[in-house]
Amino acid sequence: MDVAVIAKEIKRDDLLQMYYYLRLTRALEDRITALYRQGRIVGGVYTSHGMEAIAVGYASALERDDVIAPFHRDMGVFLIRGFTTGEILAQYLGKRTGPTKGKDGNVHMGDLKRGVFGFVSHLADNLPVAAGAALAFKIRGESRVVFAGTGDGGSSRGDFHEAMNFAAVRKLPVVFFCNNNQYAYSTPLHLQMAIPNVVDRAKAYGMPGEIVDGNDVAAVYLAAKRAIVRARAGEGPTFLEFKTMRMHGHSEHDPAKYVPRELLEEWKKKDPILKAEQLLKQLSYGDEPYFQEVTERVKGEVEAGLEFAEQSPLPEGPEVLEGVFAESAGSY
Ligand SMILES: Cc1ncc(C[n+]2csc(CCOP(=O)(O)OP(=O)(O)O)c2C)c(N)n1
Protein backbone atom coordinates (compact mmCIF):
# COMPACT_ATOMS: atom_id res chain seq x y z
CA MET A 1 0.00 0.00 0.00
CA ASP A 2 1.05 3.60 -0.64
CA VAL A 3 2.68 4.87 2.56
CA ALA A 4 1.50 8.44 1.93
CA VAL A 5 -2.11 7.24 1.78
CA ILE A 6 -1.69 5.32 5.02
CA ALA A 7 -0.11 8.33 6.74
CA LYS A 8 -3.08 10.44 5.67
CA GLU A 9 -5.87 7.94 6.37
CA ILE A 10 -4.77 6.17 9.56
CA LYS A 11 -3.84 7.89 12.82
CA ARG A 12 -0.38 7.09 14.21
CA ASP A 13 -1.81 5.83 17.51
CA ASP A 14 -4.27 3.56 15.71
CA LEU A 15 -1.45 1.99 13.68
CA LEU A 16 0.69 1.49 16.79
CA GLN A 17 -2.28 -0.06 18.56
CA MET A 18 -2.83 -2.46 15.65
CA TYR A 19 0.84 -3.45 15.79
CA TYR A 20 0.48 -4.15 19.52
CA TYR A 21 -2.57 -6.38 18.87
CA LEU A 22 -0.74 -8.25 16.10
CA ARG A 23 2.04 -9.01 18.55
CA LEU A 24 -0.32 -9.91 21.38
CA THR A 25 -2.27 -12.28 19.12
CA ARG A 26 0.93 -13.98 17.94
CA ALA A 27 2.36 -14.30 21.46
CA LEU A 28 -0.89 -15.64 22.90
CA GLU A 29 -1.46 -18.19 20.14
CA ASP A 30 2.19 -19.32 20.22
CA ARG A 31 1.76 -19.92 23.96
CA ILE A 32 -1.48 -21.84 23.36
CA THR A 33 0.30 -23.96 20.72
CA ALA A 34 3.11 -24.73 23.18
CA LEU A 35 0.54 -25.73 25.82
CA TYR A 36 -1.12 -28.00 23.27
CA ARG A 37 2.21 -29.69 22.52
CA GLN A 38 2.69 -30.23 26.24
CA GLY A 39 -0.62 -32.09 26.28
CA ARG A 40 -2.26 -29.50 28.51
CA ILE A 41 -5.10 -28.60 26.16
CA VAL A 42 -7.81 -31.14 25.60
CA GLY A 43 -9.49 -29.63 22.51
CA GLY A 44 -8.17 -28.63 19.10
CA VAL A 45 -6.08 -25.51 18.54
CA TYR A 46 -6.87 -23.51 15.39
CA THR A 47 -4.68 -20.46 15.14
CA SER A 48 -4.47 -17.32 13.06
CA HIS A 49 -0.67 -17.65 12.75
CA GLY A 50 0.39 -15.57 9.73
CA MET A 51 -3.19 -14.29 9.29
CA GLU A 52 -3.41 -12.02 12.36
CA ALA A 53 -3.79 -8.84 10.29
CA ILE A 54 -7.32 -9.75 9.22
CA ALA A 55 -9.01 -9.80 12.64
CA VAL A 56 -6.82 -7.00 14.00
CA GLY A 57 -7.47 -4.78 10.96
CA TYR A 58 -11.22 -5.17 10.73
CA ALA A 59 -11.96 -5.19 14.47
CA SER A 60 -9.95 -1.94 14.78
CA ALA A 61 -12.07 -0.35 12.05
CA LEU A 62 -15.39 -0.99 13.82
CA GLU A 63 -17.12 1.19 16.42
CA ARG A 64 -17.71 -0.19 19.90
CA ASP A 65 -21.47 -0.65 19.30
CA ASP A 66 -20.94 -2.69 16.16
CA VAL A 67 -21.19 -6.46 16.37
CA ILE A 68 -18.86 -9.20 15.16
CA ALA A 69 -19.66 -12.78 14.18
CA PRO A 70 -16.05 -13.96 13.93
CA PHE A 71 -14.33 -16.65 11.92
CA HIS A 72 -12.38 -19.44 13.68
CA ARG A 73 -9.05 -17.70 13.04
CA ASP A 74 -9.95 -14.33 14.55
CA MET A 75 -8.22 -14.27 17.93
CA GLY A 76 -7.48 -10.55 17.48
CA VAL A 77 -11.23 -9.83 17.67
CA PHE A 78 -11.45 -11.20 21.20
CA LEU A 79 -8.41 -9.23 22.38
CA ILE A 80 -9.62 -5.98 20.82
CA ARG A 81 -13.07 -6.48 22.34
CA GLY A 82 -11.50 -6.72 25.80
CA PHE A 83 -11.20 -10.45 26.49
CA THR A 84 -8.11 -10.71 28.67
CA THR A 85 -5.27 -13.14 28.03
CA GLY A 86 -6.27 -14.72 31.36
CA GLU A 87 -9.86 -15.32 30.26
CA ILE A 88 -8.76 -16.76 26.93
CA LEU A 89 -6.14 -19.06 28.44
CA ALA A 90 -8.71 -20.15 31.04
CA GLN A 91 -11.01 -21.06 28.13
CA TYR A 92 -8.30 -23.22 26.54
CA LEU A 93 -7.50 -24.89 29.86
CA GLY A 94 -11.21 -25.59 30.47
CA LYS A 95 -11.33 -23.40 33.58
CA ARG A 96 -14.40 -21.84 35.19
CA THR A 97 -13.07 -18.30 34.58
CA GLY A 98 -13.11 -18.72 30.78
CA PRO A 99 -15.97 -17.29 28.66
CA THR A 100 -17.71 -20.68 28.42
CA LYS A 101 -16.99 -21.37 32.11
CA GLY A 102 -15.09 -24.54 31.28
CA LYS A 103 -17.59 -26.02 28.81
CA ASP A 104 -15.34 -25.70 25.76
CA GLY A 105 -11.61 -25.86 25.26
CA ASN A 106 -11.01 -23.66 22.25
CA VAL A 107 -12.28 -20.90 20.02
CA HIS A 108 -16.02 -21.47 20.55
CA MET A 109 -16.52 -18.43 22.74
CA GLY A 110 -18.23 -15.07 22.64
CA ASP A 111 -19.91 -12.42 24.74
CA LEU A 112 -22.88 -10.38 23.59
CA LYS A 113 -22.04 -7.62 26.08
CA ARG A 114 -18.77 -7.13 24.23
CA GLY A 115 -20.48 -7.41 20.85
CA VAL A 116 -19.02 -10.77 19.87
CA PHE A 117 -21.37 -13.59 18.87
CA GLY A 118 -20.31 -16.93 20.25
CA PHE A 119 -18.42 -18.76 17.55
CA VAL A 120 -20.33 -21.87 16.47
CA SER A 121 -18.34 -24.71 14.92
CA HIS A 122 -20.65 -25.24 11.93
CA LEU A 123 -19.00 -23.37 9.13
CA ALA A 124 -20.73 -20.34 7.66
CA ASP A 125 -23.56 -20.63 10.23
CA ASN A 126 -22.43 -17.28 11.60
CA LEU A 127 -23.31 -15.51 8.34
CA PRO A 128 -27.12 -15.92 8.47
CA VAL A 129 -26.90 -14.95 12.16
CA ALA A 130 -25.03 -11.80 11.13
CA ALA A 131 -27.64 -11.02 8.49
CA GLY A 132 -30.36 -11.47 11.13
CA ALA A 133 -28.62 -9.09 13.53
CA ALA A 134 -28.19 -6.55 10.72
CA LEU A 135 -31.90 -6.85 9.93
CA ALA A 136 -32.67 -6.13 13.59
CA PHE A 137 -30.46 -3.03 13.54
CA LYS A 138 -32.19 -1.82 10.40
CA ILE A 139 -35.70 -2.38 11.80
CA ARG A 140 -34.77 -0.63 15.06
CA GLY A 141 -33.23 2.26 13.15
CA GLU A 142 -29.90 1.84 14.91
CA SER A 143 -26.70 3.03 13.27
CA ARG A 144 -24.87 -0.24 13.88
CA VAL A 145 -22.98 -2.57 11.58
CA VAL A 146 -22.30 -6.30 11.72
CA PHE A 147 -19.00 -7.80 10.51
CA ALA A 148 -18.91 -11.50 9.76
CA GLY A 149 -16.67 -13.89 7.93
CA THR A 150 -15.82 -17.39 6.87
CA GLY A 151 -13.04 -19.23 5.04
CA ASP A 152 -12.62 -20.20 1.40
CA GLY A 153 -14.05 -23.61 2.29
CA GLY A 154 -16.94 -22.09 4.23
CA SER A 155 -17.82 -19.95 1.23
CA SER A 156 -18.84 -23.08 -0.69
CA ARG A 157 -21.63 -23.83 1.78
CA GLY A 158 -25.34 -23.14 1.38
CA ASP A 159 -25.66 -20.87 4.40
CA PHE A 160 -23.03 -18.55 2.89
CA HIS A 161 -25.27 -18.18 -0.19
CA GLU A 162 -28.45 -17.63 1.86
CA ALA A 163 -26.86 -14.95 4.03
CA MET A 164 -25.25 -13.07 1.13
CA ASN A 165 -28.43 -13.12 -0.95
CA PHE A 166 -30.75 -12.08 1.88
CA ALA A 167 -28.46 -9.28 3.03
CA ALA A 168 -28.10 -7.88 -0.50
CA VAL A 169 -31.84 -8.03 -1.23
CA ARG A 170 -32.64 -6.21 2.03
CA LYS A 171 -29.64 -3.82 1.82
CA LEU A 172 -28.59 -4.77 5.33
CA PRO A 173 -25.80 -3.04 7.29
CA VAL A 174 -23.44 -5.98 7.22
CA VAL A 175 -19.92 -6.59 5.91
CA PHE A 176 -19.03 -10.13 4.88
CA PHE A 177 -15.47 -11.27 4.49
CA CYS A 178 -13.60 -14.36 3.41
CA ASN A 179 -10.29 -15.36 4.95
CA ASN A 180 -8.90 -16.94 1.80
CA ASN A 181 -5.91 -18.86 3.16
CA GLN A 182 -5.69 -21.18 0.10
CA TYR A 183 -6.70 -24.40 1.89
CA ALA A 184 -9.87 -25.76 3.46
CA TYR A 185 -8.28 -28.34 5.73
CA SER A 186 -6.37 -30.30 3.03
CA THR A 187 -8.49 -29.16 0.07
CA PRO A 188 -6.70 -26.59 -2.12
CA LEU A 189 -8.61 -23.72 -3.63
CA HIS A 190 -8.80 -25.14 -7.17
CA LEU A 191 -10.75 -28.14 -5.85
CA GLN A 192 -13.06 -25.79 -3.95
CA MET A 193 -14.35 -23.56 -6.71
CA ALA A 194 -14.15 -23.11 -10.50
CA ILE A 195 -13.52 -19.36 -10.33
CA PRO A 196 -10.19 -17.62 -9.61
CA ASN A 197 -11.34 -15.43 -6.73
CA VAL A 198 -13.92 -15.90 -3.97
CA VAL A 199 -14.93 -12.27 -4.50
CA ASP A 200 -16.35 -13.25 -7.92
CA ARG A 201 -19.24 -14.77 -5.99
CA ALA A 202 -20.31 -11.33 -4.71
CA LYS A 203 -21.38 -10.20 -8.19
CA ALA A 204 -24.01 -12.91 -8.29
CA TYR A 205 -25.72 -11.30 -5.29
CA GLY A 206 -25.47 -7.77 -6.62
CA MET A 207 -22.98 -6.86 -3.95
CA PRO A 208 -19.72 -4.93 -4.39
CA GLY A 209 -16.57 -6.84 -3.55
CA GLU A 210 -12.92 -6.10 -3.08
CA ILE A 211 -9.73 -8.18 -2.99
CA VAL A 212 -7.48 -7.10 -0.14
CA ASP A 213 -3.98 -8.12 0.96
CA GLY A 214 -4.91 -9.96 4.14
CA ASN A 215 -1.33 -9.75 5.45
CA ASP A 216 -1.30 -5.96 5.36
CA VAL A 217 -3.04 -4.67 8.48
CA ALA A 218 -3.33 -1.14 7.06
CA ALA A 219 -4.96 -2.42 3.85
CA VAL A 220 -7.41 -4.57 5.84
CA TYR A 221 -8.27 -1.63 8.11
CA LEU A 222 -8.91 0.78 5.24
CA ALA A 223 -10.96 -1.69 3.19
CA ALA A 224 -13.00 -2.56 6.28
CA LYS A 225 -13.56 1.17 6.98
CA ARG A 226 -14.86 1.76 3.44
CA ALA A 227 -17.27 -1.16 3.70
CA ILE A 228 -18.41 -0.13 7.19
CA VAL A 229 -19.09 3.46 6.06
CA ARG A 230 -21.12 2.10 3.16
CA ALA A 231 -23.12 -0.23 5.41
CA ARG A 232 -23.77 2.51 7.97
CA ALA A 233 -24.98 4.85 5.22
CA GLY A 234 -27.72 2.35 4.33
CA GLU A 235 -26.10 1.32 1.03
CA GLY A 236 -26.05 -2.38 1.91
CA PRO A 237 -23.49 -5.14 2.29
CA THR A 238 -19.97 -5.43 0.87
CA PHE A 239 -17.89 -8.55 0.43
CA LEU A 240 -14.16 -8.45 1.20
CA GLU A 241 -11.79 -11.22 0.16
CA PHE A 242 -8.69 -11.16 2.33
CA LYS A 243 -5.93 -13.09 0.55
CA THR A 244 -3.59 -14.81 2.94
CA MET A 245 -1.97 -18.17 3.66
CA ARG A 246 -2.54 -20.72 6.41
CA MET A 247 1.00 -21.12 7.77
CA HIS A 248 0.25 -23.99 10.19
CA GLY A 249 -1.81 -27.13 9.81
CA HIS A 250 -5.58 -26.91 9.89
CA SER A 251 -5.24 -27.45 13.62
CA GLU A 252 -2.08 -28.05 15.63
CA HIS A 253 -2.54 -31.82 15.31
CA ASP A 254 -2.12 -31.54 11.52
CA PRO A 255 1.45 -31.40 10.10
CA ALA A 256 -0.04 -30.23 6.74
CA LYS A 257 2.35 -32.27 4.59
CA TYR A 258 -0.03 -31.67 1.67
CA VAL A 259 1.07 -28.00 1.48
CA PRO A 260 4.13 -27.43 -0.77
CA ARG A 261 7.03 -26.14 1.35
CA GLU A 262 7.93 -23.54 -1.32
CA LEU A 263 4.50 -21.98 -0.92
CA LEU A 264 5.06 -21.59 2.82
CA GLU A 265 8.55 -20.15 2.23
CA GLU A 266 7.11 -17.62 -0.19
CA TRP A 267 4.40 -16.50 2.26
CA LYS A 268 6.78 -16.38 5.21
CA LYS A 269 8.36 -13.32 3.60
CA LYS A 270 4.94 -11.67 3.66
CA ASP A 271 4.35 -12.22 7.37
CA PRO A 272 1.89 -9.60 8.69
CA ILE A 273 4.09 -8.64 11.65
CA LEU A 274 7.08 -8.19 9.37
CA LYS A 275 4.97 -6.07 7.03
CA ALA A 276 3.65 -3.94 9.88
CA GLU A 277 7.20 -3.36 11.17
CA GLN A 278 8.37 -2.33 7.70
CA LEU A 279 5.49 0.13 7.51
CA LEU A 280 6.12 1.58 10.98
CA LYS A 281 9.78 2.07 10.10
CA GLN A 282 8.92 3.77 6.80
CA LEU A 283 6.60 6.15 8.64
CA SER A 284 9.17 6.65 11.43
CA TYR A 285 6.54 5.52 13.94
CA GLY A 286 8.63 2.61 15.25
CA ASP A 287 12.12 1.13 15.32
CA GLU A 288 13.81 -2.07 16.56
CA PRO A 289 14.01 -0.99 20.25
CA TYR A 290 10.30 -0.14 20.15
CA PHE A 291 9.44 -3.52 18.59
CA GLN A 292 11.48 -5.20 21.32
CA GLU A 293 9.64 -3.23 23.99
CA VAL A 294 6.29 -4.40 22.59
CA THR A 295 7.59 -8.00 22.44
CA GLU A 296 8.45 -7.86 26.14
CA ARG A 297 5.16 -6.23 27.03
CA VAL A 298 2.99 -8.85 25.28
CA LYS A 299 5.12 -11.68 26.67
CA GLY A 300 4.43 -10.35 30.17
CA GLU A 301 0.69 -10.11 29.47
CA VAL A 302 0.57 -13.68 28.20
CA GLU A 303 2.51 -15.06 31.18
CA ALA A 304 0.32 -13.12 33.63
CA GLY A 305 -2.74 -14.51 31.85
CA LEU A 306 -1.39 -18.04 32.08
CA GLU A 307 -0.78 -17.64 35.80
CA PHE A 308 -4.38 -16.48 36.25
CA ALA A 309 -5.70 -19.39 34.16
CA GLU A 310 -3.58 -21.98 35.95
CA GLN A 311 -4.72 -20.74 39.35
CA SER A 312 -8.39 -20.67 38.30
CA PRO A 313 -10.62 -23.52 39.41
CA LEU A 314 -12.13 -26.15 37.15
CA PRO A 315 -15.95 -26.04 36.97
CA GLU A 316 -18.03 -27.98 39.49
CA GLY A 317 -20.63 -30.53 38.38
CA PRO A 318 -23.73 -28.46 39.30
CA GLU A 319 -22.50 -25.64 36.98
CA VAL A 320 -22.90 -27.83 33.92
CA LEU A 321 -26.15 -26.20 32.71
CA GLU A 322 -25.14 -22.62 33.56
CA GLY A 323 -25.26 -20.38 30.50
CA VAL A 324 -26.39 -23.19 28.21
CA PHE A 325 -29.98 -22.05 27.65
CA ALA A 326 -31.16 -18.80 26.11
CA GLU A 327 -32.65 -17.09 29.18
CA SER A 328 -29.21 -16.01 30.42
CA ALA A 329 -27.74 -15.25 26.99
CA GLY A 330 -28.35 -11.47 27.15
CA SER A 331 -28.99 -9.27 24.15
CA TYR A 332 -26.94 -7.24 21.75
C1 LIG B 1 -20.53 -27.50 8.31
C2 LIG B 1 -19.15 -27.94 8.69
N3 LIG B 1 -18.51 -28.91 8.00
C4 LIG B 1 -17.29 -29.34 8.37
C5 LIG B 1 -16.66 -28.76 9.46
C6 LIG B 1 -15.25 -29.25 9.88
N7 LIG B 1 -14.29 -28.22 9.51
C8 LIG B 1 -13.90 -27.27 10.39
S9 LIG B 1 -12.89 -26.12 9.70
C10 LIG B 1 -12.90 -26.95 8.21
C11 LIG B 1 -12.13 -26.39 7.03
C12 LIG B 1 -12.53 -25.01 6.76
O13 LIG B 1 -11.88 -24.47 5.68
P14 LIG B 1 -11.95 -22.92 5.42
O15 LIG B 1 -13.35 -22.43 5.47
O16 LIG B 1 -11.21 -22.68 4.17
O17 LIG B 1 -11.18 -22.28 6.67
P18 LIG B 1 -9.70 -22.59 7.17
O19 LIG B 1 -9.83 -23.56 8.32
O20 LIG B 1 -8.89 -23.07 6.03
O21 LIG B 1 -9.17 -21.30 7.67
C22 LIG B 1 -13.70 -28.08 8.26
C23 LIG B 1 -13.92 -28.99 7.13
C24 LIG B 1 -17.36 -27.75 10.16
N25 LIG B 1 -16.84 -27.14 11.22
N26 LIG B 1 -18.58 -27.34 9.75
Task: Give residue-wise pLDDT tens across range 79-127.
Answer: 999 999 999 999 999 999 999 999 988 899 999 999 999 988 899 999 9
Mutate to test the pocket of ligand 1, among 250, 252, 259 (most ligand atoms within 8 A of CB): 250
**pLDDT tens across 33-87, in order?**
999 999 999 789 999 999 999 999 999 999 999 999 999 999 999 999 999 999 9
DSSP assignment of 216-249: -HHHHHHHHHHHHHHHHTT---EEEEEE----S-
Give residue 1's pLDDT band: very low, low, confident or very high (50, 70, 90): confident
Contact 93, 106 (CB under 8 A): no
Pocket test for ligand 1, best of 51, 122, 181, 185 (most atoms within 8 A of CB): 185
Residue with the larger pLDDT of the pair 298 and 2: 298
Nearest to 108 by CA among 326, 327, 324: 324
pLDDT for residue 175: 98
% of the chain surpassing 90 pLDDT: 92
Quickly state the pLDDT bin for 174 (edges 50, 70, 90). Answer: very high
Residue 332 is predicted with a pLDDT of 63
Residue 182 is predicted with a pLDDT of: 97
- Give the Å distance between the CA of 123 and the centre of ligand 1: 6
Confidence band of 329 (pLDDT split at 50, 70, 90): low
Closest-CA residue, ligand 1 atom 13, reads 184
Q: Ligand 1: distance of its center to the CA of 105 in Å?
A: 17
| Mean pLDDT of all residues in 277-306 | 98
Position 114 scores a pLDDT of: 97
Cα separation, 156 vs 128, whole angstroms:
14
CA dist., res. 113 & res. 91, Å (int): 18
- What separation in Å is there between the alpha carbon of 155 and the centre of ligand 1? 10
Which residues does ligand 1 sit against, CB inside 6 Å? 73, 121-123, 150-154, 179, 181, 183-185, 246, 250
Share above pLDDT 70 across residues of the chain, in percent, rounded to a whole number: 98
Task: Give the mean pLDDT of 212-223.
Answer: 98
pLDDT value of position 228: 98
Q: Are 76 and 19 in contact (CB under 8 A)?
A: no
CA dist 188 and 104 (Å) reads: 29
Task: Quote the CA–CA distance of 164 and 204 in Å, as a whole number.
Answer: 9
Measured in angstroms, how far is the CA atom of residue 118 from the centroid of ligand 1?
17
Which residue's C-alpha comes closest to atom 12 of ligand 1?
A: 184
Distance CA 227, CA 236 (A): 9
- Fold classified for 3-314: Rossmann fold (3.40.50)
Q: How many CB atoms lie within 10 A of CB 263?
A: 14
